[in-house]
Amino acid sequence: MIDYKINEILVKQLNDDYNCSICVDPVLNSLPLEQHQALSCKNGHLLCQACWGKQLALRKECCICKIKVESISELCRNIFLEKGFRNKKVHCPNGFENFKVDEKLIKDESDGCKSVITIDQLESHLRECEFVFIECPNDPIRCKDKFRKNQTDKHMNKCQYVTINCEHCKEPVIKNDMPTHIENDCSIISLECEFCKDKFGRRSLENHIANECPNVVIDCPHKEGGCTARIKRCYLSQHLTEEDNHIRYMQKIIEKHRIQVEESDRIIKKLRVDYKELEKRVEITSRYKGNWTIENWSQKLTHYPNNERLKSPYFCIGSKSFYVGLYPNGFNQTNAGFMSIFLHLYEKPSTSTTVVRFSFELLHSDPTKSLKFEKSNKYTENKGSGFSQFIDIKMINNFIIDGKLTINIDVEVIPPSSSLVTK
């Protein structure tokens, strides 16, 4: 739609009461109307919002009566004038051409919208008006036409960028590209084989030349073994029958393939060794750092008596799975009155040993007062390692933040030591 101001589409020109005292345009001159207000100073001098903004940026006063105005919010809104403005009649802007002459709108008497509505009805009318100018829905980049929405069918009938189905192969093709499609791409159009002069569809022709045409000159299938003959496909059987040295060529091919298979086996074995080595590196160099937050700690302290534990979510380091077990009221009677915490390696009993260095840090609201303990352990099965008397329960309230207990967890898998021997 062409750019316009409301005063350009008025049926009758407004009197000066509706105009800005500076730019002399109507104070409500563009859509959407709800973003504009008729504003005046306390003495009634009316400016549009844009001019009020410029004026107050220069001086905090009305440019006519000089009364102090500190901000837009101090101005008075003239609702009576706004209502009168909204009831004025205008032509639908889609009743004009989509260009201007000497900065003036040109009335489209033949194809434009003939509606005359109030300014208040204008926005709702424009949402439904079928006379609005639109771009081509087929390809707005290549098709430069702009037309009224109610003329879409007429445009589609002549547009060269509409998608249609090829009458031969039924594939969707842009109308303008159809000649190129038929000449180069259509799989059904019959083409002549340059060797035997028979006709085939384009897709069939490629297979015909590559695998079937008797007049195509091809290499002997034993070229890899040393036969350099090139013959027409129709003479291939005769060539293979007459030549008595093809067994030797076949033996060369078989030997060559045998060498290739052996080399492939060697590469595969090396890749397997490299893969196992990489697996080991991933397992021994990984580390986990995170935190475990336990909400509603006071309830947990009540609901988990001595020798009953909370269990953290699992976390992984390489192929190893771990979890933390926490006893709010201590692990067994010996540790009653203390919080106990242990790190568990979750796996079946194994002959291999996993060496782990880990720490637990109980966070305090004052970071300098947080409580941290470290330990190392060798794991061979799912047995916990940690601290039976991590903290006295009487002291734990100092570490409760918003009803939550937070523990930083740092776990590192240590690589096993190895011995090097030279004989």
Dump pLDDT digits (tens) for 72-99.
899 999 989 889 998 999 999 999 988 8
Structure pTM?
Answer: 0.43
pLDDT of residue 320: 85
pLDDT of residue 244: 64
Q: What percent of the chain has pLDDT over 70?
A: 94
Segments in the chain below pLDDT 50 = none
pLDDT of residue 312: 96
For residues 405 and 364, give the distance between their C-alpha atoms in angstroms, rounded to a whole number. Answer: 9
pLDDT of residue 419: 53
pLDDT of residue 101: 85
pLDDT of residue 383: 79
pLDDT of residue 58: 92
pLDDT of residue 11: 92
pLDDT of residue 281: 66
